[in-house]
């Protein structure tokens, strides 16, 4: 995703008061990722309104730029251990996150190199993400998002800044796009058909997740035959469910990317050069839809796609039910 496009997505959520509690910013912490995080801080704290922010000229913008704003706290790995230490997380970062902000507005907690968050610190953060403090945004900046715990990933929206990013799990993406390209909300049966196609992907993932866990265990046993202890059934199931959740993410990312493409095409002024799409191979199907879907609606579909993820993953609702519900409104 282009940086500016990503920033507009955040700005829109901010303006509509629909900011998530946390973003994973996939980009170099000392490069594009870190810069993006500062830009988001300035957006939320700038003294101008959300349309003009960040103005780059007000006191708040200047303090953010200098790294001296009291409502921004940044945590990064210790030099020596190269991990984000639990005492800094528990002793400073999280207590700060639940306090009132200095300026009465937003607070932003930044974790640079969030992949260096190890078990204890990650779990402490997870607890906070499960009951997030108000008006606080967490930015987890990392160039290795795949190393974050799936439980943390599932509580964050993801922003991918790597320009030529390799889409995760390509075969799933294509199958999601195929289902959406053929989707029609013309009748309940057609809607259900699309929902069942997406559900079939989840079912397949279930089997694959179990295979992957078995594979991991075999490798662990081979590496250390004497120290290896086979997990009991509950532990095995929990490991498989975690893996499964990880796989499902690629379906949500594909859904969101599809509707972003639709938004791009539906809001493109006549004659304007076309920006790169996530699904160039489905351009015709997307363009045909874009002619029927006004930008205002396409924008809502992007939000709906996020709702789908949050209903299934955070509220544990039945996926067929959730897909059919939202896809009734999505043309």
Binding site for Zn ion (CB under 5 A): 46, 55, 58, 61
Smallest distance from Zn ion to CB 38, Å: 12
Tally of CA atoms within 13 A in the half-sphere of 155 that contains its CB = 20
Quote the least distance from Cβ 268 to Zn ion, whole Å: 30
Nearer to Zn ion, 8 or 146 (CB): 8
Nearer to Zn ion, 106 or 326 (CB): 106
Residue 19 CB, nearest approach to Zn ion (Å): 18
Whichever of 58 and 83 has its CB closer to Zn ion, that residue is: 58
CB-based contact 282:183 (threshold 8 Å): no
Nearer to Zn ion, 5 or 47 (CB): 47
Residue closer to Zn ion by CB (options 45, 265) is 45
Query: CA geometry: angle at 194 spanning 193 and 198, to 5°?
Result: 115
Shortest Å distance, C-beta 12 to Zn ion: 18
Cα 82 to its chain centre, rounded Å, is: 25
Q: How far is the CB of 27 from Zn ion (least distance, A)?
A: 23
DSSP single-letter state for residue 312: I
**203-222 burial, b if ≥16 CB within 10 A, otherwise e?**
eebeeebbebbeeeeeeeee
Residue 62 CB, nearest distance to Zn ion (Å)? 8
What is the distance between the alpha carbons of residues 27 and 243, in angstroms, rounded to a whole number? 23
* Exposure of 135 in the CB half-sphere (CA atoms within 13 A): 12
**Residue 51: CB minimum distance to Zn ion, A:** 12
Instruction: Give whichever of 54 and 145 is closer to Zn ion, judged by the CB atom.
Output: 54
CA neighbor of 255 nearest in space, from 238, 283, 279, 231: 279
Provide the minimum distance between the beta carbon of 25 and Zn ion in the complex, in angstroms, as a whole number: 21
The strand pairing partners of 137, in sequence order, are 108
DSSP 146-180: GGS-HHHHTTSEEEE--TTPPPSSHHHHHHHHHHH
Given the complex with Zn ion, which of 1 and 43 has the nearer CB atom?
43
Residue 260 CA, chain-centre distance (Å), reads 14
Give the number of other Cβ atoms within 10 Å of residue 180's Cβ: 25
Nearer to Zn ion, 46 or 286 (CB): 46
In the sheet that holds 22-26, the strands lie side by side as 72-75, 107-112, 136-142, 22-26, 157-160
């Amino acid at each position: 995703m282009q940086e500016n496009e990503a920033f507009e997505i955040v700005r829109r959520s901010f303006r509509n008061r629909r900011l998530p509690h946390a973003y994973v910013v996939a980009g170099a912490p000392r490069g594009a990722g870190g810069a993006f995080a500062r830009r988001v801080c300035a957006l939320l704290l700038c003294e101008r309104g959300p349309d003009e922010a960040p103005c780059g000229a007000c006191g708040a913008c200047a303090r953010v730029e200098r790294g001296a704003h009291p409502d921004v706290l940044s945590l990064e790995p210790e030099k020596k251990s190269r991990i984000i230490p639990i005492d800094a997380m528990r002793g400073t970062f999280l207590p700060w996150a639940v306090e009132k902000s200095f300026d009465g507005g937003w607070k932003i907690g930044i974790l640079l190199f969030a992949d260096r968050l190890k078990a204890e610190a990650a779990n402490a953060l997870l607890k906070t993400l499960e009951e997030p403090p108000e008006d606080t945004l967490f930015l987890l900046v990392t160039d290795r998002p795949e190393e974050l715990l799936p439980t943390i990933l599932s509580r964050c929206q993801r922003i991918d800044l790597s320009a030529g990013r390799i889409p995760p799990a390509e075969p799933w993406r294509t199958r999601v796009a195929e289902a959406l390209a053929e989707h029609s909300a013309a009748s309940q049966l057609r809607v259900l058909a699309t929902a069942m196609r997406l559900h079939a992907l989840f079912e397949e993932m279930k089997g694959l997740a179990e295979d992957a866990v078995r594979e991991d265990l075999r490798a662990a046993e081979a590496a250390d035959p004497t120290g290896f202890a086979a997990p009991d059934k509950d532990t095995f199931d929990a490991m498989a469910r975690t893996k499964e959740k990880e796989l499902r993410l690629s379906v949500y990312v594909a859904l969101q990317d599809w509707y972003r493409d639709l938004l791009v095409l539906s809001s493109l002024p006549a004659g304007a050069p076309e920006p790169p799409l996530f699904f160039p191979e489905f351009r015709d199907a997307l363009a045909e839809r874009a002619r029927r879907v006004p930008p205002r609606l396409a924008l809502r579909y992007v939000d709906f796609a996020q709702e789908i993820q949050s209903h299934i993953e955070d509220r544990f609702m039945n996926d067929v039910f959730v897909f059919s519900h939202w896809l009734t409104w999505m043309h």
